[in-house]
């Protein structure tokens, strides 16, 4: 099998994952998109491992690691999403902007300087 | 030399004790101040007697060096030196200082700042002694500047009053202006002569080129004009009368203002080597002499009359120096110190009794204050130059020297000598007029102030009597030919011997018959005119008859207003624009950079939306841009 086909597939998968991460509003779907991206990478690793006929099978080993870590990550991520949903009754990312910088306008520097000048 | 050290250090020690212990032991202030002045007087007396003894045979001189300060190519010695002139001037300073200390103890009784006042007067005495006995230009400069500082603090003694603060600052700034030139004059003279020691500079005066001598003396003259309140820089002295009257007597009449004259007399051979400077001095003296006397004619404040009179009399001394007789100048310095200190102390006694400085509110004090009246009359007669009193002889010595220089040639051009002579004679008449006006307004007619005046206490009366004696007698030392000149021992021969005169004749005081008769006639005319005007309306100020010219005289020819327009206002304007620049431009830049950074940060803050996906989009865009950049650029 030529290398091109799995690589193109991986690219498509990764692109779909990126689109999902950036465009989806639902946190669970975003997590799923992340999984897609990880699996695209896994596909790449396996494909290149075969293509390069690696004696140590590093690519496959690495893939196993990625799968394990992805599982852990999804577990953790789902738990967070669950907690967020319990607290806020929503899992929509657009509504979760607690860490946004409020826009108070620039603090009034002029008043300070005038006071010191008067002193 | 011990006497010299005592003369300088005794008042200095009194000043130190007064400064540090005056608050803790306020009762010791008077004894400490009077002891310091007395010790100084004893020392000065010893020196003067030794100078008198030695002066009969040879020139008296005694030098001592405390330390040498090496400064690269030139070194400065802490040198003190006594000669006849220094001993006599030192004696005059010590006498007036003691009289003033005794007088102040009564005049400023109950003043909360008396101890610091007395300490400043002591410090001033020490500084003046240092100037008198200094043999090094820098030592002299130290004394010179300390005197200026003491003058500043003492003028501002009543600092609660705004006017006195302003006068103090004015006096300080105006004299400082002259001192800038003075300092550079010292540099020029010291580097040209290769030494800053006065006695060596004087002995090398003939070696100086005329150009160098002219530059150096003109620069020194700036300081002299500032300190001695001569024409362009005279404006501070009348305002300095805001200080307590004894201070005016000591600093602004008898001693400090005469320091400029003393300095010229001390460096006289150098000045003689610069005829241009002498001509400039003659012109300044003429303008100041007549202008000061005319201004004194229309003042209402008794102290301001005396202040303008001081300005005018100092101009006499300067003119004597200009026409080549330092002996006459020193003679007038001595007599003036005596009678002007007396006049100020007597005026203080009057002010103390009446409670005002204004002569229109006085009047009729002749009966209430007999001792003040008699002593002040003596002082006024001496000031007007009436024959038996001191002022007559010294003024005649000045006019005689001018006549000598005008007729037979002297170190200065003939036109300058002639103008000194003519203006000097005119001033005698004007002086007699303002003296008469002061005398009549203060002591005659009926009391106008509504205060029951009474004679002052003994501590005020005794200094008056003590100073009245020399005001009568001191003129007699000038009568005997060459006697005073030998005592003072001033070298008046022009360097290089351009005018062939033997030293004995050159040092003599010329009291010519023509000038004497002329000046007495003029004085009598001045006296008579004012008396005639006054007789018609004794309750009125005779100067009101001047109608049109009176405002000009009262404002002293608007010199203050002129300076206000020319210097004070432009400087204020410049200061205000500097303040505005500092506030708006420099301060604006500082606070502008702060608020600018804040506004920029506001832009960045906009990106912090809280939406994770936006961040990720930015991240991805960045990665793509970097990747594309790496691919295309490598």
Comparing C-alpha atoms, which of B135, B287, B282, B148 is closest to residue B221?
Answer: B282
Choose between B491 and B305: higher pLDDT: B305
CB spacing of A97 vs B611 below 8 angstroms: yes
User: How many C-beta neighbours within 10 Å does residue B83 have?
Assistant: 23
Choose between B482 and B270: higher pLDDT: B270
Nearest 5°: phi and psi at B364?
65, 20
* Tens digit of each residue's pLDDT (9 = 90 or more) over B188-244: 988 888 888 888 888 888 888 888 889 999 999 999 999 988 888 888 888 888 888
* Tens digit of each residue's pLDDT (9 = 90 or more) over A51-96: 998 888 899 999 999 999 999 999 999 999 999 999 988 888 888 8
**Confidence bin at B506 (pLDDT 50/70/90):** very low
* Tens digit of each residue's pLDDT (9 = 90 or more) over B415-471: 888 898 899 999 999 999 899 988 888 888 777 766 677 777 888 888 888 888 888
User: How many C-beta neighbours within 10 Å does residue B67 have?
Assistant: 8
- Cα(B363)–Cα(B361) distance, rounded to whole angstroms? 7
Q: Mutation test of the interface with chain A: which of B612, B614, B616, choosing the one with the most A Cβ atoms within 10 A?
A: B612
Percent pLDDT > 70 in chain B is 93
Q: Calculate the CA B81 to chain-centre distance.
A: 23
- Cα(B284)–Cα(B298) distance, rounded to whole angstroms? 22
Quote the ipTM score.
0.77
Nearest 5°: phi and psi at B633?
-85, -20
Question: In chain B, which residue's Cα lies nearest the Cα of A94?
Answer: B611
User: How many C-beta neighbours within 10 Å does residue B572 have?
Assistant: 11
- Cα(B341)–Cα(B96) distance, rounded to whole angstroms? 7
- Cα(B139)–Cα(B245) distance, rounded to whole angstroms? 29
* Tens digit of each residue's pLDDT (9 = 90 or more) over B263-293: 998 888 888 888 889 999 999 999 999 999 9
CB spacing of B611 vs A105 below 8 angstroms: no
CB B253 within 8 A of CB B335: no
Please say if the pLDDT value at position B386 is more than 90.
Answer: no
Q: Which residues are CB-neighbours of B594 under 8 A, at least 6 positions away?
A: A109, A113
Question: In chain A, which residue's Cα lies nearest the Cα of B580?
Answer: A117
- Cα(B88)–Cα(B448) distance, rounded to whole angstroms? 43
* Tens digit of each residue's pLDDT (9 = 90 or more) over A93-113: 888 877 777 655 555 544 444
**Confidence bin at B499 (pLDDT 50/70/90):** very low
Q: Output Rg (C-alpha) for chain A, integer angstroms.
A: 24
Residue B482's pLDDT is 64
Which residues of chain A lie closer than 8 angstroms to B594, CB-CB? 109, 113
* Tens digit of each residue's pLDDT (9 = 90 or more) over B149-163: 999 998 888 888 888
What rounded mean pLDDT belongs to chain B?
Answer: 84
Residue A29's pLDDT is 92
Q: Which residues pair with B61 in a beta bridge?
A: B83
- In order, the DSSP letters of B446-513 are S--S-----PPPHHHHHHHHHHHHHHHHGGGGGTSTTHHHHHHT---PPGGGSS---HHHHTS----H
CB spacing of B587 vs A117 below 8 angstroms: yes
Determine the 3-state secondary structure of B75 from DSSP: strand
- Hey, what are A114's tokens? 């005038």
Interface residue A21 vs chain B (CB under 8 A):
yes
Residue spans of the domains in chain A: they are 26-95
**Confidence (pTM):** 0.78
Residue A82's pLDDT is 92
- Cα(B266)–Cα(B131) distance, rounded to whole angstroms? 11
Question: Which ranges constitute the DSSP H helices of A24-108?
Answer: 27-52, 58-88
Q: Calculate the CA B406 to chain-centre distance.
A: 29
Residue B288's pLDDT is 92
Rama region for B633: left / alpha / beta (φ>0; ψ in -120 to 50; rest): alpha
Question: Which ranges constitute the DSSP H helices of B22-135?
Answer: 29-55, 84-107, 114-133
In this structure, what DSSP letter does residue A101 have? P
Interface residue A101 vs chain B (CB under 8 A):
yes
Which residues of chain B lie closer than 8 angstroms to A106, CB-CB? 595, 598-599, 601-602
């Amino acid at each position: 099998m030529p290398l091109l086909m799995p690589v193109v597939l991986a690219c498509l998968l990764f692109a779909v994952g990126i689109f999902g991460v950036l465009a989806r509003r639902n946190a669970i779907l975003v997590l799923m998109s992340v999984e897609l991206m990880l699996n695209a990478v896994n596909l790449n690793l396996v494909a290149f491992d075969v293509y390069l006929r690696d004696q140590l099978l590093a690519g496959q080993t690495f893939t196993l690691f990625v799968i394990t870590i992805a599982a852990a990550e999804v577990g953790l991520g789902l738990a967070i999403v669950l907690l967020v949903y319990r607290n806020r009754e929503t899992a929509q990312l657009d509504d979760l902007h607690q860490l946004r910088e409020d826009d108070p306008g620039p603090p009034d520097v002029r008043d300070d300087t005038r006071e010191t000048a008067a002193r | 030399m011990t006497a010299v050290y005592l003369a300088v250090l005794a008042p200095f020690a009194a000043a130190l004790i007064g400064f540090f212990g005056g608050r803790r032991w306020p009762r010791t202030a008077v004894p400490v101040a009077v002891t310091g002045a007395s010790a100084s007087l004893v020392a000065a007396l010893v020196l003067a007697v030794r100078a008198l003894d030695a002066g009969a045979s040879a020139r008296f001189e005694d030098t001592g060096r405390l330390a040498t300060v090496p400064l690269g190519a030139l070194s400065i010695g802490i040198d003190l030196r006594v000669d006849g002139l220094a001993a006599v001037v030192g004696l005059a300073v010590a006498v007036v200082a003691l009289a003033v200390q005794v007088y102040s103890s009564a005049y400023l009784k109950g003043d909360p700042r008396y101890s610091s006042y007395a300490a400043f007067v002591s410090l001033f005495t020490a500084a003046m002694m240092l100037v008198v006995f200094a043999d090094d230009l820098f030592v002299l400069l130290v004394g010179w500047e300390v005197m200026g500082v003491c003058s500043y603090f003492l003028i501002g003694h009543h600092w609660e009053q705004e006017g006195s603060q302003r006068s103090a600052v004015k006096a300080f700034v105006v004299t400082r202006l002259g001192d800038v030139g003075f300092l550079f004059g010292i540099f020029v003279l010291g580097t040209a002569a290769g030494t800053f020691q006065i006695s060596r500079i004087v002995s090398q005066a003939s070696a100086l080129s005329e150009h160098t001598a002219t530059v150096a003396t003109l620069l020194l003259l700036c300081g002299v004009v500032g300190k001695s309140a001569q024409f362009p820089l005279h404006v501070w002295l009348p305002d300095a009368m805001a200080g307590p009257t004894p201070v005016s007597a000591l600093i602004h009449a008898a001693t400090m203002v005469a320091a400029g004259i003393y300095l010229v007399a001390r460096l006289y051979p150098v000045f003689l080597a610069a005829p241009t400077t002498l001509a400039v001095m003659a012109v300044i003296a003429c303008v100041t002499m007549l202008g000061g006397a005319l201004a004194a004619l229309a003042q209402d404040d008794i102290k301001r009359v005396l202040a303008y009179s001081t300005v005018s009399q100092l101009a006499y001394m300067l003119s004597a120096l200009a026409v080549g007789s330092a002996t006459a100048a020193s003679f007038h310095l001595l007599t003036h110190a005596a009678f002007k200190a007396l006049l100020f102390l007597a005026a203080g006694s009057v002010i103390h009794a009446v409670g005002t400085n204004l002569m229109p509110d006085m009047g009729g004090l002749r009966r209430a204050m007999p001792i003040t009246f008699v002593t002040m009359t003596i002082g006024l007669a001496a000031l007007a130059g009436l024959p038996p009193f001191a002022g007559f002889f010294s003024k005649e010595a000045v006019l005689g020297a001018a006549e000598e220089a005008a007729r037979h040639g002297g170190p200065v051009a003939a036109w300058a000598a002639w103008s000194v002579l003519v203006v000097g004679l005119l001033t005698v008449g004007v002086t007699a007029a303002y003296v008469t006006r002061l005398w009549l307004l203060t002591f005659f007619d009926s009391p106008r102030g509504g205060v029951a005046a009474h004679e002052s206490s003994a501590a005020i009366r005794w200094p008056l009597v003590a100073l009245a004696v020399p005001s009568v007698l001191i003129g007699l030392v000038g009568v005997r030919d060459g006697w005073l000149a030998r005592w003072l021992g001033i070298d008046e021969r022009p360097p290089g011997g351009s005018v062939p005169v033997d030293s004995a004749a050159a040092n003599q005081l010329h009291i010519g018959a023509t000038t004497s008769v002329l000046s007495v006639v003029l004085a009598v005319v001045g006296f008579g005119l004012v008396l005639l005007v006054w007789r018609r309306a004794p309750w009125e100020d005779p100067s009101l008859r001047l109608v049109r010219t009176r405002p000009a005289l009262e404002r002293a020819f608007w010199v203050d207003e002129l300076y206000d327009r020319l210097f004070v206002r432009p400087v204020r304007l410049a200061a205000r624009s500097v303040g505005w620049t500092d506030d708006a431009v420099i301060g604006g830049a500082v606070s502008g950079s702060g608020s600018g950074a804040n506004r920029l940060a506001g832009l960045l803050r906009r990106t912090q939306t809280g939406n994770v996906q936006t961040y990720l989009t930015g991240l991805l865009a960045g990665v793509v841009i970097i990747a594309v950049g790496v691919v295309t650029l490598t």
